Chains A and B, each alone.
Chain A
Amino acid sequence: MRAGDDAEFSAFVAASARRLLRGAYLITGDLAEAEDLLQTALERAYRRWSSIRWRAAREAYVRKIIVTAAVDAARRHRAPSTPLDEELLPGQPDVALERIPGRAALLQLVRELPAGQRAVLVLRYFDDLTEVETARALGCSVGTVKSQHARAMARLRELVPDEADWSLR
């Protein structure tokens, strides 16, 4: 790797690592796993840095590695139920903070979705990708993205009965 590439790599990590980590965390729900996925993906990118020419392509490349690995890992370890530990539960919500527990509940619902559906939601609503870009990141067809998205949203609406009355704020 040339010295210029090394500097470019550092700049890329500085600019993109936080966004990629946030997305990885939302898919995995585990910060340690998200950090490991990010580092592994960056190592793969670093090895073939000179062949990934465009910055946008670089981030897409790293994101694809992370998302694919996260979804695969979630499918391999499909036993996500964890015994509730009183000490690990957040305290009773403060009245002044009503909207935060509401969003926490929403996140909890998202966590209960299958990994593929969860990844679609994160890519669409956190990374702000189009359906086509989401399909590329997941390595699947646009039709699959649409169906996964529709199932995920239907499930969220099923668990949250009336969207109109849902006062998160």
Chain B
Amino acid sequence: MTTRLERELAAAFRDATEALQPRPDLADAVRMSVRSRRQPLIVAAAAACAVILLAVGVSYAAAARHPSIASRQHHLTPAPIASARRSSAPLRLSYPVRQLAVSGSYLYVLSSATGTLSAYDRRTSTLIRQVTPPGGATAFAVGPASEVWLSFAAAPGLIGTWLLSPGLKLHSSAPGLAGETIVPVSRTAALVAAKHGLYRLIMPAPGSFGSASWRLQPGTELGQPPSTVPAGAQVVGGQVVVRTTDGNGNDGQLVIAGQPNVRYGGAPQAVVHDFAGTGGSLWVVAGTAGNATVGTLVRLDGRLRPAGPVPSASKLLSQVSAVWSAGNTVWLALGPGAWASGHSLACFAVGKQTGPVVSLPVSGQVTALAATASTVYVGAATSAGSSTTIATYPVPARCREPQPEAGGPH
């Protein structure tokens, strides 16, 4: 007869490991490891044979000396595994890329086709590790200690968030809570925007036993449906600003968590396609309901009111499809009109003087971007849109002038 303790043990074991997945390339890794350990034995055996051959007869060895032994040894020496997997920049990927992030020695790439998150070595472009959560990842974010937060939604009821170590080797799991947007606030805590407000999610460190917990943060309501499906969040001037949509990606608006009446945008005139923050400012791509591809760059203050200055008038600023920020630099993906021109990316610095706008020689549609102070990683779709090239560029000097922006409004 099964006792209650036995049933609970079985359930606890099942729950604690529900989210665990072996690495996707495990069988290949096993083969590679076994073969790489065999190779030195083969080489050693070959070397021993060569020595024996040399000892058999001087004339035979002399005849065979340089060309054959040298070539045989060369043939038997395996190519270093690392260099075989290393790809030269730019990185060419056979899938569309949804999001990039850079932290420490890693470049993280989220596939929009499979929901697989990959970690590459920034210096060598070597693939370090890939993880694919159930149903694929919907969003990820890198926290202050380089830990990686990743949400997934396989099916109704089968959703969750993982907290992974920087190399994606270890993870802990929070089954039952996922978001389109995650804002890490410490090594083990993050805010997850959901329909009715922000959840504070606390998780065990990656690889640790323990349970996650989350609770709705009081005073973070986002307003009433239908326009409260969060599709992005940024901390700007100490406030969490959330982009909401109608659930189908339409009617984008901005709202400050906890102040649902402070809003910007909405159909039909100023639909928020995308936004990013620098210091106390928001940079918003605002378009119309009829044109979901491009919009005009608008600057908002901490109360979501239009504010200046914007960079000196540039036609580029009315053809923006996406915006990112890194420090005091704003990056702009330009719309289809710029794709063929070979200048589909632009940037400018924000500070006492904002701008000028500098374009970069990037072809195709920029779909993802991540930047450090000196380098920008740009994911551009190929013409068919099914694959991506990730190239690196130095940040133009005029886009990284160290001009601290005035303190953010509160």
Interface residues of A (CB under 8 A from B): 6, 9-10, 13-14, 17-18, 21-22, 25-26, 29-32, 35, 38-39, 42-43, 46-47, 87-94, 97, 100-101, 103-104, 106-108, 110-111, 121-122, 125-126, 153, 156-157, 160, 163, 166, 168
Bound form: Cα–Cα A10–B29 in Å: 11
Question: A residues within 8 A CB of B171?
Answer: 31
Q: Which 8 A-B pairs have the closest CB atoms?
A: A91-B202, A22-B17, A103-B12, A104-B211, A126-B13, A13-B27, A17-B22, A31-B207
* 18 sampled A-B residue pairs with Cβ under 8 A: A9-B31, A13-B22, A21-B17, A22-B20, A26-B17, A31-B206, A32-B207, A38-B26, A42-B26, A88-B188, A90-B210, A92-B213, A97-B211, A97-B213, A100-B15, A101-B211, A104-B211, A125-B6
Bound form: Cα–Cα A107–B8 in Å: 10
B15 engages A31 (CB within 8 Å): no
Please name the residue on chain B nearest to A12 by beta carbon. Answer: B27
B22 engages A122 (CB within 8 Å): no
Question: B residues within 8 A CB of A110?
Answer: 9, 12
B169 engages A21 (CB within 8 Å): no
Please name the residue on chain A nearest to B203 by beta carbon. Answer: A90
User: What range describes how many residues of B lie at the interface?
Assistant: 35 or more
A-B interface pairs (CB < 8 A), number:
137
Please name the residue on chain B nearest to A122 by beta carbon. Answer: B13
B9 engages A111 (CB within 8 Å): no
Question: A residues within 8 A CB of B6?
Answer: 125
Bound form: Cα–Cα A91–B205 in Å: 12
B204 in the interface (beta carbon within 8 A):
yes
Question: B residues within 8 A CB of A26?
Answer: 13, 16-17
B214 in the interface (beta carbon within 8 A):
yes
A134 to chain B, nearest CB (A): 14
Question: A residues within 8 A CB of B204?
Answer: 88-90
- Which of A13, A17, A111, A160 is within 8 Å of B209, CB to CB? A111
Known contacts A91-B189, A108-B209, A156-B5, then 20 further A-B pairs from the complex at CB < 8 Å, ordered by chain A residue: A9-B27, A9-B31, A13-B22, A14-B27, A17-B26, A26-B13, A31-B171, A39-B29, A47-B34, A87-B205, A88-B208, A89-B204, A90-B210, A91-B200, A92-B213, A94-B215, A103-B15, A106-B8, A107-B209, A126-B13
Bound form: Cα–Cα A105–B140 in Å: 29
Q: A108-B209, A111-B209 are in contact. Are A121 and B9 (CB under 8 A)?
A: yes
B326 to chain A, nearest CB (A): 27
